[in-house]
Structure 1
Amino acid sequence: MAKNALPLRHYSDIRYALLQRQEIALLDVREEAYYAEGHPLFAANVPLSKLELEILNRVPRLTTPVTLYDNGEGLAQIAAERLIALGYRNVALLAGGLQGWREAGGELFIDVNSPGKAFGELVESLAHTPSLAAQEVNALLQSDEPVVVLDSRRFDEYQTMSIPGGISVPGAELVLRARDLAPSPETKIIVNCAGRTRSIIGTQSLVNAGVRNPVYALRNGTIGWTLAGLTLAHQQNRRYGETNETAQLQAARAAREVADRAGVQRLTLAGLAALQAQDRRTIYLFDVRDAEEYAAGHLPGARHVPGGQLVQETDHYASVRGALIVLADEKSVRADMSASWLAQMGWDVAVLDELNAVDLTQRGDWKPVVPSLPALPETTPEQLAAWLEAGDTLVLDFTTSANYVASHIPGAAWLQRSLLTLMGSASLPAAKRYVVTCGSSLLARYAVEELSTLTPCPVTVLKGGNAAWRAAGLPVEQGETRLLQPRNDRYRRPYEGTDNSAAVMQAYLDWEYGLIAQLERDGTHGFNVLTPQS
């Protein structure tokens, strides 16, 4: 395909589609670290290196208008060719790439999940979400007053660092569980996350649902706690339990009222099937319950995304702005509360009504839809160990750089597929045989064809990937032992981990405070926040 054969879409085209609430997938195909340095508000990050693993799930309808861009690296053209080969029929490049967007007057947002974070700031501003500073919360915890701290992040984030005594209650579970965790209306409820967004949304969820307790967000989350000189706890394991029937009924009634106020639609399974059969628009079906419930039984075709994470990271899961989002939860509370927020964020959203346990026939984890591949040569961990002992084989590991540093096959080199695409054979260290791997070898399989065009040497897939190597009891090593390129596959969030500097954390908070002004300059968000007067 000639370099200039693809059509172009301009900044004005994208802006018009957003304002008219038309379907549009604006995809940044750079690695996440570069995406986080600046991107349009509703641009979703789908790196070229992982394109095949993600695209069919994030842009599931092949006739969706897809617009690709990079920052002059040449990645977008390659990504477009791959999408067309997969059957996408409405693919274009963003005129001028990222620089063209900027020159046309488009606003650029840094960090990741910018729509959700900007929305959270707008919610606090318009709804006047109550909050307390870290010192005030600490004083409450040291007093005799009844108080509970509910951590609205994922459980793994909570375990990394949390407020001492806090309980893990991920965002969409708050309205369902709060009445059991704070049965006395005198008990103060503090909602926290690592920064601001999930604290604000979680607190306002409880306020919107009419929980009788005094409810406050921990202002600036664990970042604020740390900047105040207070000590965080680590590896806590307090989690919510079962709800009593009365509390569940109260939560369901309140959540439905909030969803109705927000304009959430209702669908039956038959209605959903009819929409899916028409194939006229993109439809995402998400199960917003917790992981254990999902694994025990879910609707066929439903992807598991806990509701709080879906509101925070909507762009990552629903990458077609203007699509219809359908939520499933047989208890209804988590779907209704999550849907209420998505509707306020300008999404067309519906909740499945009359959903019963007998409808949840699929078991196990969600499996992504990926393009098919021909049969590829494979080798076992034991055979690979023998080859490595002979000294004529190089392992190329395409896992995330974080996973590689944590544990990899001795001598393995880490790289991304985009390096092969852009650098060609110059990026390959010499070897007589190459074995490709990643966590499961799923992503690595898509590198075989590219590698085979760069070298006459045999290329083989490690069957079962790094997981199979470890399961066989074979040795591993840690660290950045053989990186073939910089670790740009993931942006290091300032609110993650425990070793960020105070300056970095404060800069992140300052950025969040400025998001409302950016929304005003951008003008395409379509957010409509529920307030007590609305």
Structure 2
Amino acid sequence: MTTTTSNETGASFATLSFAQIRAALLAREELALLDVREEAPFAEEHPLFAANLPLGRIELEAYTRIPRRDTTIVVYDAGDGLALPAARRLQQLGYSAVHLLEDGLQGWRNAGGEIFRDVNAPSKAFGELVESQRHTPSLSAPEVKALLDAKADVVVLDARRFDEYNTMSIPGGISVPGAELVLRVRALAPRPETQVIVNCAGRTRSIIGSQSLINAGIPNPVSALRNGTIGWTLAGQQLEHGKTHRFSDQAHSEAGSEQHILAATSARQVADRAKVGRTGLAALVRWQQENDRTTYRLDVRTPEEYMAGHLPGFSSAPGGQLVQETDHVAPVRGARIVLADDDGVRANMSASWLAQMGWEVHVLDGLQKTDFSETGLPSQALPPAPPFESVTAAKLAEWLSESDPKSSTVLLDFTSSANYVKQHIPGARFALRSQLASVVRQTSSEERYVLTCGSSLLAGYAAGDLHQLTERPVFVLEDGTAAWIAASLPLESGETALASPRIDRYRRPYEGTGNPAAAMQAYLDWEFGLVAQLAADGTHGFFVI
């Protein structure tokens, strides 16, 4: 172990090597390996179990995603100068076991560590492993289209989030996010002869969704749509847009009905095969009092059900997306996960997959309706922002209308680039907090700075950074761009002024409706190679029932 010291603060951080991190992963020790770059560069190259936590969002996400303050944390970048500031910031937030990755990402590569691409790499690699071992049935896009054109006895179930389905979907498809499939399928396809086809955008969620139905023993023939909407598009077939047909539009299994009992019984059997743990509220309370283990408490039902009533202390993590995005929801590899639902199906099916992905996962049994006593979104644990001076939307509008160059105002918007492009205050410049020094160099002659984002929450933290980079007055827009909109003040859209590049989010090759065929095919080729990468990496601990 070596030591890196900050010349500015005197804070020192031990480094951990590739070999030490690999040993911890193999031993199932708790470890959060954090890539503190923005999402787009993270998606280009990272270790398998790295979780993306951009430097500029640490205050917003750290307490939720890494709840135990003495978790072993290893921070890295790719020589961008972000890792040390991130380590300092985490230490300031109370994390006591913060380390740096020895020689950063290049050190990982030089030591022989496998490098993965894209986002949610663990789940996508696991999906490919499932298909390779279970030979999950699939149909090509032309084969599925032929069935639909012939009006065959077939139902297409889209296992993605509803917003993804709404953007583009297979003709006639129904939105049934992954965790809902086993619970809803008997109502959506009551005849055992009906062919059930599960699709997603690419491969993972359709493979996992189809195999969920097969594992649960439904009598219907089940197939994944091979390569999802990407395969459909590459075959020259047209997708639908703006569809809203959700599973809730259909009759569904009522609690205690024969369909529900069958679903719950089969889901429990699948969870038992995967060696999923069982627990109750009393044990959960004891676990929460442990100071040497991290326990994530997750409600896998729909967001609407969660808002209507959930267990205190539980976060919303709809099961299908949880399996897809486990690295984001639970960045502490080796932690304990406890899942809850009110039907005995969704938690068991979701847990069965997490267990196969190497997690210690338990389903919370014995729950009563009265246990789901908390409504709405819980308050988020956030550190206090440094003091700053606010300005109202009306005053900002006055400043922006002034023609005197000596009183010029530069308005920086720290919202996501997607939100910025959709709408922003006229004249606002999109900025990344992690690149604030570069932004200041571009705007150093201005009289004052005003910072905003949707609510000004992130802008408030950024104000503290900006005070250290300039002597000019810094203000935060009171209640953010939302207050500007509420005052019916003008807005503009588009990439009108980018003070930072749009690297805060990686554009998936299957997103949107105008993706190049070459990018989509390259994405599929990458997925096909993931099983080999898993074998080369050797730390995953996955198994397939």
Given the two structures, how large is their TM-score scaled by the length of structure 2? 0.95
Map of 1:122 onto structure 2 = 129
Distance 1:398 1:485 in 2: 10
Distance 2:442 2:364 in 1: 50
- Are 1:192 and 2:183 counterparts? no
- Are 1:403 and 2:419 counterparts? yes
Aligned residues: 529
Write the mapping of 1:425-440 to structure 2, written as runs, cut at 5 A: 425-440=440-455
Per the TM alignment, residue 309 of structure 1 is displaced from its structure 2 partner at its CA by: 0.5
Per the TM alignment, residue 192 of structure 1 is displaced from its structure 2 partner at its CA by: 0.2
Map of 2:170 onto structure 1 = 163
Are the equivalent residues in 2 in contact too, given 1:304–1:366 (CA < 8 A)? no
Per the TM alignment, residue 428 of structure 1 is displaced from its structure 2 partner at its CA by: 3.4
- Are 1:511 and 2:515 counterparts? no
Of 382-391 and 123-132, the range deviating more from structure 2? 382-391
Are the equivalent residues in 2 in contact too, given 1:295–1:365 (CA < 8 A)? yes
The DSSP-based 3-state class of the residue aligned with 1:454 is: coil
Are the equivalent residues in 1 in contact too, given 2:439–2:499 (CA < 8 A)? no
Map of 2:326 onto structure 1 = 314
Counterpart of 2:53 in structure 1: which amino acid?
Answer: V
The DSSP-based 3-state class of the residue aligned with 1:105 is: coil
Map of 2:491 onto structure 1 = 476
Write the mapping of 1:70-469 to structure 2, written as runs, cut at 5 A: 70-241=77-248, 242-244=252-254, 245-391=257-403, 392-420=408-436, 422-423=437-438, 425-469=440-484
Are the equivalent residues in 2 in contact too, given 1:251–1:333 (CA < 8 A)? yes
Map of 2:507 onto structure 1 = 492
Per the TM alignment, residue 456 of structure 1 is displaced from its structure 2 partner at its CA by: 2.4
Are the equivalent residues in 1 in contact too, given 2:410–2:443 (CA < 8 A)? no
Distance 1:179 1:415 in 2: 49
Alignment RMSD (CA, Å): 1.3
Distance 1:453 1:470 in 2: 30
Counterpart of 1:220 in structure 2: which amino acid?
Answer: N
Given the two structures, how large is their TM-score scaled by the length of structure 1? 0.97
Map of 1:9 onto structure 2 = 16
Which one of the candidate residues 47, 52, 57 is aligned to 1:50? Answer: 57
The DSSP-based 3-state class of the residue aligned with 1:178 is: helix
Counterpart of 2:24 in structure 1: which amino acid?
Answer: A
The DSSP-based 3-state class of the residue aligned with 1:7 is: strand
Distance 2:326 2:160 in 1: 15
Distance 2:148 2:439 in 1: 59
The DSSP-based 3-state class of the residue aligned with 2:497 is: coil
Distance 2:458 2:158 in 1: 34
Are the equivalent residues in 1 in contact too, given 2:75–2:100 (CA < 8 A)? yes
Distance 2:263 2:104 in 1: 47
Are the equivalent residues in 1 in contact too, given 2:184–2:247 (CA < 8 A)? yes
Per the TM alignment, residue 380 of structure 1 is displaced from its structure 2 partner at its CA by: 2.2
Per the TM alignment, residue 50 of structure 1 is displaced from its structure 2 partner at its CA by: 1.0
Are the equivalent residues in 2 in contact too, given 1:286–1:304 (CA < 8 A)? yes
Are the equivalent residues in 2 in contact too, given 1:419–1:427 (CA < 8 A)? no
The DSSP-based 3-state class of the residue aligned with 2:476 is: strand
Are the equivalent residues in 2 in contact too, given 1:171–1:307 (CA < 8 A)? yes
Distance 1:460 1:246 in 2: 61
Per the TM alignment, residue 458 of structure 1 is displaced from its structure 2 partner at its CA by: 2.1
**Identity within the alignment, %:** 61
The DSSP-based 3-state class of the residue aligned with 1:229 is: coil
The DSSP-based 3-state class of the residue aligned with 2:75 is: strand
- Gaps of at least 5 residues in structure 1 are none
- Gaps of at least 5 residues in structure 2 are none
Per the TM alignment, residue 366 of structure 1 is displaced from its structure 2 partner at its CA by: 4.4
The DSSP-based 3-state class of the residue aligned with 1:126 is: helix
Are the equivalent residues in 1 in contact too, given 2:386–2:460 (CA < 8 A)? no
Map of 1:520 onto structure 2 = 535
Counterpart of 1:315 in structure 2: which amino acid?
Answer: D
Counterpart of 2:344 in structure 1: which amino acid?
Answer: S
Distance 1:249 1:386 in 2: 64
Are the equivalent residues in 1 in contact too, given 2:323–2:354 (CA < 8 A)? yes
Of 238-247 and 27-36, the range deviating more from structure 2? 238-247
Distance 2:137 2:483 in 1: 49
The DSSP-based 3-state class of the residue aligned with 1:92 is: strand
Distance 2:113 2:464 in 1: 38
Map of 1:23 onto structure 2 = 30
Per the TM alignment, residue 377 of structure 1 is displaced from its structure 2 partner at its CA by: 2.3
Distance 2:431 2:443 in 1: 10
